[in-house]
Amino acid sequence: MTAKMTDTRIDLATHLDGAALPQGLSELLALVASACVDIRKVVSGGALAGALGASGSVNVQDEEQKKLDVISNDILTDQLLASPLVAGVASEEMDNCQPAPHSGGKFLVLFDPLDGSSNIDINAPVGTIFSVLAAPEGDITDASFLQDGRKQLAAGYVLYGGQTMLVLTTGNGVAGFTLSLDGQWLLTHPDIKISADTKEFAINMSNQRHWAQGVQTYVAGCLQGVEGGRGKNFNMRWVAAMVADVHRIMMRGGVFLYPWDKREPNKPGKLRLMYEGNPMSFLVEQAGGKSTTDGRAAILDVTPTELHQRVPVILGSANEIDIIADTCGV
C-alpha cells in the first residue's frame, strides 16, 4: 500500500494572495490558469479528442490553423470575455481584438493560445503564452492593446509537456507551478533564475544561409567549440515551440534566437511582439536574463504599432546575450 503523498506545497491562489497585486489581477490569473487546464485536457486527448490535423482555415498571419489552435483560442476567448474583470482580448488566431460584451473590465489579455502548433500532430511539446495589460478608459479597439512591454501587469506561459507547468511573473520574480493529478497548480519552482552563462543555443539551423552575418559568425563560433575562439563546446536544441525552448532556458540557461533573415527582408522576424516577444521578455528579464531584438536593444522597449507586428528575438543567459551583441557589432 503506497502512502498517499500529502503535498505541502502552496497552490496558485495562495501564492497570488501573498503578492499584493492590483485588485482583480489574482482572480484573472487564476481564470487564465483554469482555462489552460481545459486546453490541457484537449491537448492530452489528441486524436481521441478530435484535436489533431488542420482546421481548414488560415489566420491573419496567413498560417494554416490547426484544429487545436482554434479550440484553444475559443476556450480562452469564451472564458475570459465572460469575466467582468476583462475589457477585451487579442489573440494570434484572431484578426482583431474582441472587446468584452460588458463595460467595467479592468484588464486586457493577449495570448498565443497554442504556441508550437506544428508540434501537435507529432506529440511534441506545445504551450499557451499570455500577457496582461491595464485596460484604458473608453471603447476597446486594437489600439488599446498597443502598449509597450514594460506596461505589462503580468505574463506567463503554460507548457503542455511531460509535466504541465505554469510559469508566471507579476513583476516580482518568476514562479513555476506544476499541475497535480487532481488538477491543482502547486508551487514547485518558487524563484526561477536564468544562469548568466551557458553552453547551449537554440536556433533553427536550416535558416543559416539567410541570417545576417553577425548571427552567422556567432553560431559558427559555437559550432567550432574548443577548437575555436570560444574555447568551449556548445550543445544545440530546437523544439520549434518557443514555450519549450524558453522553459529550458528558464530551467538550465541558454540562448534562443529567431533573428531577422533575408528570406523576407521587410519582415523583422517570425515571432510576434505582443503575445510572444513581450510576455517572454518580461519573464526572461524577471528571471535575470536578457531579451533583445539584436543582442542589445530590449524587446520590452519596442513601441508597438500593430497588433500582430513581428520582432526578431534573441534572448536568454545575460552574459551570452552580451557576447552575441558584441559579435553582431551592436
Between residues 107 and 160, which has the closer beta carbon with respect to ligand AFP? 160
Q: Report the site for ligand AFP in 133-192 (rule: CB under 6 A).
A: none
**133 bridge partner residues:** 108
Annotated binding site: 92, 112, 114-118, 204, 270, 276
Binding window for ligand AFP (CB under 6 A); candidates: 5-13, 112-120, 169-177, 322-330: 112-120
Q: Counting contacts by CB under 6 A, is residue 57 touching ligand AFP? A: no
Q: Counting contacts by CB under 6 A, is residue 204 touching ligand AFP? A: yes
CA within 13 Å, CB half, 286: 26
Q: Counting contacts by CB under 6 A, is residue 63 touching ligand AFP? A: yes
What's the Cα-to-Cα distance from 127 to each of 160, 247, 258, rounded to whole Å? 5, 10, 18
* 169/290 Cα distance (integer angstroms): 15
Long-range contacts of 181-188 (CB under 8 A, 24+ apart): 183/37, 184/11, 184/12, 185/11, 185/12, 185/33, 186/7, 186/9, 186/10, 186/11, 186/12, 187/9, 187/10, 187/11, 187/12, 187/14, 187/15, 188/9
Between residues 63 and 264, which has the closer beta carbon with respect to ligand AFP? 63
* 212/240 Cα distance (integer angstroms): 21
**To the nearest whole angstrom, how small is the minimum distance from the Cβ of residue 198 to ligand AFP?**
18
Q: Which three cell numbers stand for residue 83?
A: 469575466
Please answer whether residues 156 and 109 qualify as being in contact, where contact means their C-beta atoms are separated by less than 8 angstroms: no
- Determine which residue in the list 115, 200, 285, 294 makes contact with ligand AFP, applying CB under 6 A: 115
Site size toward ligand AFP (CB under 6 A) is 12
Annotated binding site for Mg(2+): 92, 112, 114-115, 276
Q: Counting contacts by CB under 6 A, is residue 116 touching ligand AFP? A: yes
State the burial class of residue 265 (Cβ atoms within 10 Å of its Cβ: 0-12, 13-18, 19+).
exposed
Between residues 129 and 174, which has the closer beta carbon with respect to ligand AFP? 129
Binding window for ligand AFP (CB under 6 A); candidates: 187-195, 238-246, 261-269, 296-304: 238-246
- Determine which residue in the list 80, 241, 299, 314 makes contact with ligand AFP, applying CB under 6 A: 241
Between residues 8 and 266, which has the closer beta carbon with respect to ligand AFP? 266
165: amino acid identity, one letter: M
Annotated binding site for substrate: 115-118, 204, 270
Binding mask 271-290 for ligand AFP (x = CB under 6 A): x-------------------
Q: Which three cell numbers stand for residue 197?
A: 552563462
Q: Which three cell numbers stand for residue 329?
A: 557589432
**To the nearest whole angstrom, how small is the minimum distance from the Cβ of residue 170 to ligand AFP?**
23
Q: Counting contacts by CB under 6 A, is residue 131 touching ligand AFP? A: no
How many residues in total does the chain contain?
Answer: 330
State the burial class of residue 188 (Cβ atoms within 10 Å of its Cβ: 0-12, 13-18, 19+).
middle
Q: Is 14 helix (H, G, I), strand (E, B) or coil?
A: helix
Between residues 110 and 140, which has the closer beta carbon with respect to ligand AFP? 110
Q: Counting contacts by CB under 6 A, is residue 242 touching ligand AFP? A: yes
Between residues 271 and 314, which has the closer beta carbon with respect to ligand AFP? 271
Q: Kindly list the residues in this chain that would bind ligand AFP in the complex (CB under 6 A).
A: 63, 115-118, 204, 240-242, 258, 270-271
